[in-house]
Amino acid sequence: MKLLVTGGAGYVGGVCATVLVERGHEVVVLDDLSTGNRSGVPAAATFIEGDVAALAGEVLDPGFDGVLHFAARSLVGESVEKPGEYWQGNVVTSLALLDAMRAADVTNLVFSSTAATYGEPEQIPITEDMPTRPTNTYGATKLAIDHAITSYAVAHGLAATSLRYFNVAGAHGPVGENRVVETHLIPLVLQVALGHRSDIKVFGDDWPTPDGTCVRDYIHVADLADAHLLALESNRPGVHRVLNLGSGEGFSVREVIDVCREVTGHPIPDVVAPRRAGDPAVLVASSQKAMTELGWTPTRTDLRTIVRDAWAFTSALGDRAHSAPR
Amino acid sequence: MKLLVTGGAGYVGGVCATVLVERGHEVVVLDDLSTGNRSGVPAAATFIEGDVAALAGEVLDPGFDGVLHFAARSLVGESVEKPGEYWQGNVVTSLALLDAMRAADVTNLVFSSTAATYGEPEQIPITEDMPTRPTNTYGATKLAIDHAITSYAVAHGLAATSLRYFNVAGAHGPVGENRVVETHLIPLVLQVALGHRSDIKVFGDDWPTPDGTCVRDYIHVADLADAHLLALESNRPGVHRVLNLGSGEGFSVREVIDVCREVTGHPIPDVVAPRRAGDPAVLVASSQKAMTELGWTPTRTDLRTIVRDAWAFTSALGDRAHSAPR
């Protein structure tokens, strides 16, 4: 297949682009490098640097078999502070992409959605029929795009899947998460192991969970990439599927830190800090629908595997990439 | 107050602009007349013809005390067929307005939202904390705008209220609904009374309701206008309120037709047709929150009053305006 991967220089987009190339597909990456990294784009892919809204119309033609749309602003905290940039950068850009796909008669889409569309869950595990009450701008913009995709599927026969990621972690060989994000636990803990941070903050140890710390669902980025390819291959005209992607298992902040200690051999000091506003105690996906719909089975659900792969990537990057943020 | 009313040449916007003028406010109407009518704009208002996205930045300045944002594409059926026009015309336009307000330091907003944001209700009456699962593009675009407004309130201190209308009906003196919309029951029934349609279709008489026809909540447009003014006056910086506006009472399709027969003195033949896909059996608002928050009390909840005012407007318009559609 000939595929356009927007945001293919980012973490998840880069891993997916790499997996697509490995499976023999022809990949064109469109990324403005505002947060992505040229080095994350597989060598065998065609790379176009630029804005998705501006260039999608030029890049796409009927020769493309599908689009994987990862390009987005994705920092929750920043989204709350600068909503305009997120509504423009995520929603307006995605609308331009949908119109460009339509104009070029490219009808197969996989969209990178998020568990943040649900907000505070009424029940665990989270299924796709639960209410969507995003508690931040990032989640609200992704939800709006999900709704827009539904409307294009109904009206114009778009074949689409939105994949709602839970906590993506790990790495795929040379492609991993090389941006330090304040809400992504594993990369932060590994920063401590590398000696770039003195300790890891645990936001609350009095949550109603087995060890008192928040519980999250970690999915290996390579399992995630598999789901994207399966979605692309099974999309049906006029149907927009919305599927959660998680491992279905929850790990607490303490469990994650302990596994990081074990894998890295570093003591990793932790400091308990107050709870953060808006943090739910537990976020765990039901991925039953993705498994059924896609025939997908995550095979790297062991937390050790996820941390080991993340650590291999992070420690190989070494002091070079991580010397700035502290 | 000096107020910008977008879409002030439309039905609800025109009535609100008229009421604002009557109460002594300075009103500037911005409307592209794509569906609105120049004659619906009160004479005392300043009228600017043009696109909201293009002109809001030019029109707004710090001298404005607030904005009432009605401009929108609002036909449910059309929204499903042409989603791109609705995402652009509603969401992208509203984002431009929000940015223009921010640039001009105008911080008070009342937005015309809709019951269609909820979709099929889990429970009746519908309260504001119920899940939002829009079943058409129109509702999805209004929901996205509601979410965008929340994010601007949180980030930039916008003082805002979204009013989620149920079935708006009636007229305010010379301003009423002079566009025939396939889903707006009362104007359609009055078309039959005027002789412009041969009969009124009743979509299903086997619904689980007292007389088997669908039940809806009709709110008088003048009551609606009152709520807008109260919202404007009570908006608080950094707070985005979402309030349902209905009468809290449901009337069946048969009840509406019967009252129209009584008010117009016309037999109004009806024909039972199959149910329409996507029509919920009952849609009735809880407006408790609006009453509490705004100190609002709808005073024209009697169906006879609503139909009488609509009929006065429609019959005065006479054959002139309604000769085309049939």
pLDDT digits (tens, 9 = 90+) for A274-321: 998 888 899 999 999 999 999 999 999 999 999 999 999 999 886 444
The 10 Å Cβ neighbour count of residue A110 is 27
- How much is the pLDDT for B289? 98
**From CA A96, how far away is CA A222, in angstroms rounded?**
29
Q: Which of B80, B86, B152 sits opposite A83 (nearest CB)?
A: B152
Strand A251-252 with A215-216, pairing: antiparallel
**From CA B38, how far away is CA B119, in angstroms rounded?**
33
Strands (DSSP E) contained in A99-158 are 108-114
Quick check: helix, strand or coil at residue B119? Answer: strand
Spatial neighbors of A44 by CB under 8 A, at least 6 apart, are A21, A27
Contact B262, B193 (CB under 8 A): no
Does the pLDDT at position B18 exceed 60?
yes
- How much is the pLDDT for B323? 40
Measure A6 CA to nearest chain B CA, in Å. Answer: 20
**From CA B177, how far away is CA B182, in angstroms rounded?**
13
| H helices present in A35-120, as ranges | 52-59, 76-81, 83-86, 93-103
User: pLDDT confidence of B239, banded at 50, 70, 90?
Assistant: very high
Measure A145 CA to nearest chain B CA, in Å. Answer: 9
- How much is the pLDDT for A178? 82
B147·A143 Cβ contact <8 A:
yes
Q: Residue A92: its chain B contacts at CB < 8 A?
A: 92, 95
- Which regions in chain A score pLDDT beneath 50? 319-326
Q: Which of B176, B187, B194 is CA-nearest to residue B265? A: B194
- How much is the pLDDT for A318? 65
Token pair recorded at residue B258? 């019967």
Token pair recorded at residue B223? 């009551």
- How much is the pLDDT for B225? 98
Token pair recorded at residue B19? 């009421």
Q: Which residues of A touch B (CB under 8 A)?
A: 79-84, 86-88, 91-92, 95, 98-99, 102, 131-134, 137, 140, 143-144, 147-148, 150-152, 154-156
Does the pLDDT at position B322 exceed 50?
no
Quick check: helix, strand or coil at residue B40? Answer: helix
Q: Which of A99, A144, A150 sits opposite B84 (nearest CB)?
A: A99
**From CA B8, how far away is CA B28, in angstroms rounded?**
9
Does the pLDDT at position B27 exceed 80?
yes
Looking from the CA of A74 toward its CB, the CA atoms found within 13 Å total: 23
**From CA B58, how far away is CA B52, in angstroms rounded?**
10
The whole-number average pLDDT for the span B283-308 is: 96
**From CA B288, how far away is CA B298, in angstroms rounded?**
11
Does the pLDDT at position B181 exceed 90?
no
Measure B254 CA to nearest chain A CA, in Å. Answer: 32
Q: Which of A220, A193, A228, A29 is CA-nearest to residue A113? A: A228
Quote the distance between the C-alpha of residue B107 and its chain's center.
22
Does the pLDDT at position B260 exceed 90?
yes
**From CA A188, how far away is CA A190, in angstroms rounded?**
5
Measure A127 CA to nearest chain B CA, in Å. Answer: 14
Q: Which of A99, A102, A151 sits opposite B140 (nearest CB)?
A: A151
Contact B94, B69 (CB under 8 A): yes
Token pair recorded at residue A226? 């598999």
pTM: 0.95
Chains A & B: contacts with CB separation below 8 Å? 89
- How much is the pLDDT for B173? 86
Strands (DSSP E) contained in B135-199 are 159-165, 167-169
Q: Which residues, in sequence order, are bridge partners of residue B164?
A: B113, B244
**From CA B282, how far away is CA B208, in angstroms rounded?**
9
Say which DSSP state B319 is in: H
pLDDT per residue over A31-55, tens digit each?
999 999 999 899 999 999 999 999 9
Q: How many helices (H) and strands (E) does chain B have?
A: 11, 14
Measure B132 CA to nearest chain A CA, in Å. Answer: 7
pLDDT per residue over B85-136, tens digit each?
999 999 999 999 999 999 999 999 999 999 999 999 999 999 999 999 999 9
B83·A152 Cβ contact <8 A:
yes
- Can A138 be counted among the known catalytic residues? yes
Spatial neighbors of B63 by CB under 8 A, at least 6 apart, are B2
B131·A132 Cβ contact <8 A:
yes
The whole-number average pLDDT for the span B251-262 is: 98
Cα-based distances in Å from A187 to A242, A309, A323: 28, 11, 14
Q: Which of B137, B143, B154 sits opposite A80 (nearest CB)?
A: B154
**From CA B69, how far away is CA B81, in angstroms rounded?**
24
Strands (DSSP E) contained in B20-166 are 26-31, 46-49, 66-69, 108-114, 159-165
Q: Residue A148: its chain B contacts at CB < 8 A?
A: 83, 87, 140, 144
Q: Residue B137: its chain A contacts at CB < 8 A?
A: 147, 151, 154-155
Percent over 70 (pLDDT), chain B: 97
- Only one residue has tokens 């919305």, namely A242
Quick check: helix, strand or coil at residue A250? Answer: coil
Spatial neighbors of B115 by CB under 8 A, at least 6 apart, are B126, B164, B165, B166, B217, B244, B246, B283, B285
Contact A27, A45 (CB under 8 A): yes
Strand B215-216 with B270-273, pairing: unpaired
B140·A131 Cβ contact <8 A:
no
- How much is the pLDDT for A79? 96
For residue B152, what is the nearest residue in chain A, using CA coordinates?
A83
Q: Which of A80, A88, A102 sits opposite B155 (nearest CB)?
A: A80
Quote the distance between the C-alpha of residue B74 and its chain's center.
9
